[in-house]
Amino acid sequence: MREVMVKRLIGVVLVTLLLNGCMVEAISNSSLARNKDIDKAVEAYIAAGMHYLKDGDIGTAGRKFRKAYDLNPDSPDANNSLALFYSVDNEPEQVEKYYKKAIKARPDFSIARNNYASFLFDLQRYAEARDQLLEVTKDYNYSQRKQSLESLGYCYLRLNDDRNAEKYFLKALHRDARMGRSTLELAEIYFNRGSYPQAERYLANFDRLSAPNARHLWLAVRLQRILEDKNKLASFVLALKNIFPDSAEYKAYVESLLNLKPSSLKPSVVTQAPIKAAVPAPAQIIKPPAIEAAAPAPIQASTQTKKTAIRKAPKTK
């Protein structure tokens, strides 16, 4: 009799466990479905926000990003998108807050790190920008890695470390030999170092890659004075005079003829700095172009799946 009762009790326990198991599984499946729905909603709000941001509707964009964030405050993409929004809205404390949250939530989030690096570069916090970009360039799957290598070169230039600047500009060109900004920077580095044949080679490469600008022509003039090629010198002088007569570089050239010390100059025509921000489809946002020949690069905003570019302007990219 007792044995029968024990068996019945075991049977009841087993049935209870099975029922509880079914309930747990049902709850888990329900939670999973709900989480998937939330993730989709977050993506949709971010995509909509990027669309409005592209169209210049900042207020609506901000509301969409905030809805994405409210659905999942730990979403790296939602935090990255809010940081981009506050960049446009010029609220640096909020920008930094949300970039840090995005990176903390996903340490290998190269898009957010690159965007954060651009933000730091704008604030002239070059060492911090460098540290972020060093992490980004370890990600060989990052679609904008070559631009991040170039951006690292600019960080090192600002830190007066031309050896490392050279290293990363060369790495960028190894990834893509058509990168005009890195080419011109290397020409200037070699010129300043007294490596004139190398400087001439990179200037010649730049001529093939890009339209002339005042900075490039003035560098070529100074180089040909040293190399004493009168024909090339005359050609570059003529181009500088005819194309950029009002530039600081042409003024420096005229002053040099009078044996005056050229004014310190910021190139009036320069290669531009790409700072992109990847975003969930179908949005592309262009921010004002960059600065003086430099700035950290692709600054990207994204969701986990689709990406497009956004352009951000460093103040000195």
Name the residue with higher pLDDT: 198 or 35.
198
Helical ranges in the chain per DSSP H: 2-54, 58-71, 76-88, 92-105, 110-122, 126-136, 145-158, 162-175, 180-193, 196-209, 214-227, 230-243, 248-257
Measured between alpha carbons, how far is 73 from 78 in angstroms, rounded to an integer?
7
pTM of the model: 0.73
pLDDT bracket for residue 260 (50, 70, 90) = low
- Helices 2-54/58-71 angle, 10° precision: 170
Tens of pLDDT, residues 110-120: 999 999 999 99
Each domain of the chain, given as residue ranges in start order, spans 37-86, 199-259
Tens of pLDDT, residues 59-78: 999 999 999 999 999 999 99
